[in-house]
Amino acid sequence: MAESAGAVRTEVRGSVLVVTLDRPPANAIDVATSRQLYAAFARLRDEANLRVGVITGTGRFFSAGWDLKAAAAGEAPDADHGPGGFAGLTELELDKPVIAAVNGIAVGGGFELALACDLMVVATQARLGLTEAALGLIADSGGVIRLPRRLPYAIAMELLLTGRLIDGGEAVRWGLANAVVSQSEVLDEALKLADRIVAMAPLSVAAVKQVLRGLHDDVTADFTALRSGRFAAYDRLVESEDAREGSAAFAQGRPPRWLGR
């Protein structure tokens, strides 16, 4: 039986928790939605009968990322999105796998949500990318941390610096996604993958996640470094007029006027 909390629906299918972001028209994420998503992922973490999570969206969008209209209305780039960080997952450590069923457009923070997942099934017509630089922002909800670990450096830099979008086929070719299927098949394919994981030993699955996390640079430490004041250019950007201008221009439907301050 599906349960709903604001913009987030959850449904238990056997040992799999399906989380659906349903916030028309673009499944954009504000603080309230981030906290609702966190509640869903915390349930996955805390309930022993749940073994795998699947996150998907409704309509043409997986998620357009940060709600720029909320930003233009005053929601700060560094607003408190809850214990799991932006979208409830980007800074949450889980010993249970999460699969992104990317049904459509996943840009900015929406792509960062997908990157925070362990596996990805992508629709053929999906479009994925980090468009923050076009808005005077930076992909600081995990994009600048995770994308270079998932793609060759030059490709990751291209996407981060130009905002170029890739489709499902390119995502699979680069090894970013596990499968590309039609939009109508995305959730079913993700659930098949989830069922294969459920058939494995729970302690083995948890151990794989913990060991892999330990063998690589610690994402939690990277987030701490990002917010420590160590990166002067980042701190300057977050407090800049340009960061506010990008959101305002988007909300007003006009080109941004960059001031470099």
- Is 112 catalytic? The answer is yes
Sheet containing strand 98-102, edge to edge, reads 3-5, 8-13, 16-21, 52-57, 98-102, 119-123, 179-181
**Catalytic residue, candidates 112, 158, 170, 189:** 112
Dihedral, 203, 206, 212, 215 alpha carbons, nearest 10 = -70
**What is the number of alpha carbons within 13 Å of residue 192 lying toward its C-beta?**
9
How far apart are alpha carbons 66 and 159 in whole angstroms?
18
Instruction: Count CA within 13 A, CB hemisphere, residue 87.
Output: 34
The answer to whether 71 touches 121, Cβ cutoff 8 Å, is no
Active site residue 47: no
Can you tell me the distance from the alpha carbon of 187 to that of 182, in angstroms, rounded to the nearest whole number? 10
Name the catalytic one among 3, 47, 132, 185: 132
The residues annotated as belonging to the active site are: 112, 132
